[in-house]
A and B are shown apart, each in its own frame.
Chain A
Amino acid sequence: MKFHFSKENLKPRPARLQRFLEILPGASSWSVLLGLILLSIFLPFIAAILIVAFYLSWIMRILYSTIFLVLSYLMLNIETNTDWMNRIHGIDNLTSYLKDNSSKKFGRHWRQCLSHKIHLRQLNELKTNLLLPPASKNIYHLVLFPVIKEGRDILEPAIEAIRCQGFPLKQMVIVFALEERALPPIQNAVQELENKYKNVFFACVTVVHPAIVPGEARVKGANATCAARQAAVFFQSHHIPFENVIISCFDADTVVSTSYFACLTYHFMVCPHRLRASFQPIPVYHNNIWQVPGFARVVETGSSFYLLIEATNPEKLVTFSSHSMSFKALVDVDYWPVDMISDDSAIFWKAYIHYDGQYQVIPMYVTLSMDVASADNWWQTAKSVYKQKQRWAWGVENFPIVMRAFLESKKIPLYEKLRLGFKLFEGHLSWATSGFILSIIGWLPVIFARREFASSVVYYNVPDIANTIFALGFIAICITIILSLSLLPKTKIRYRWLFKIGHAFEWLMVPFILVLFSALPALHAQTRLMLGKYLEFWVTDKHRAK
Chain B
Amino acid sequence: MLYLRKIIFYIFAIIYLVLCPLIVARMLGFVINPLTHRLVKTGLVYVSTNPPDATIYIDGRVSHQKTPTALRDLAPGKHFIRIEHSGYIDWERNVPVIGKKATVLANVLLIPQEWPIKRISSQSYQDIFIAADDILVATNPVLKNMDVFHTTKGMTENFNEVNTYEQTPLFSRNSVYASGNLVHLYSLPHSFFILLEGIIKDKHKFLWINLKENPPLIEDISDLFVEIPTQIAWDNSDNGNIFAFYANNIYRINIHEKAIFLQEAINLPESLNLNPTHHPLMKFLINDKNDLLVREGKWIRVYPKDDFNSPQVYDITKSRPSTNMYFEEKTGELFYLDDDTRSLFVAQILPFHPILNIPIPDALRINVPSKENN
State the A residues within 8 Å of B (CB).
48-49, 52-53, 56-57, 60, 63-64, 67-68, 71, 75, 312-315, 449-451, 454-465
Contact = CB atoms under 8 A, between A and B. Distances in A.
Contacts of B20: 53, 56-57
Interface string B1-25: 1101100110010011001100110
Given A313-B5, A449-B363, A451-B363, A462 B27 contact: yes
B42 A457 contact: yes
Interface in B300-330: none
B101 A313 contact: no
A49 B23 CA distance: 9
A57 B24 CA distance: 13
B154 interface: no
Contacts of B24: 49, 52-53
5 tightest A-B CB contacts, nearest first: A451-B363, A457-B29, A461-B27, A460-B70, A64-B12
A461 B26 contact: yes
Contact of A450 (B9, B16, B29, B363): B363
B195 interface: no
A455 B104 contact: yes
A465 B72 contact: no
A460 B358 contact: yes
Nearest to A71: B1
Nearest to B16: A60
B358 A449 contact: no
A52 to B, nearest CB: 6
Given A49-B24, A68-B5, A71-B1, A56 B102 contact: no
B367 interface: yes
Contacts, number: 90
Interface of B: 1-2, 4-5, 8-9, 12, 15-16, 19-20, 23-24, 26-29, 42-44, 46, 70, 72, 100-102, 104, 358, 361, 363-364, 367
Contacts of B5: 68, 312-313
Contacts of B43: 457
A454 B12 contact: no
A315 B1 CA distance: 11
Contact of B8 (A49, A67, A75, A463): A67
Contact of B72 (A52, A314, A454, A457): A457
12 contacts: A53-B24, A64-B9, A64-B12, A67-B8, A312-B5, A454-B364, A456-B100, A458-B27, A459-B102, A460-B102, A460-B358, A463-B358
Contacts of B23: 52, 56, 465
Given A449-B361, A454-B364, A457-B101, 16 more contacts: A56-B19, A67-B8, A75-B1, A312-B5, A454-B361, A454-B367, A455-B363, A457-B28, A457-B29, A457-B43, A458-B29, A460-B44, A460-B358, A461-B29, A463-B358, A465-B27
Nearest to A57: B16
A313 B42 CA distance: 44
Contact of B101 (A56, A455, A464): A455
A451 B364 contact: yes
A341 to B, nearest CB: 30
Contacts of A456: 29, 100-102
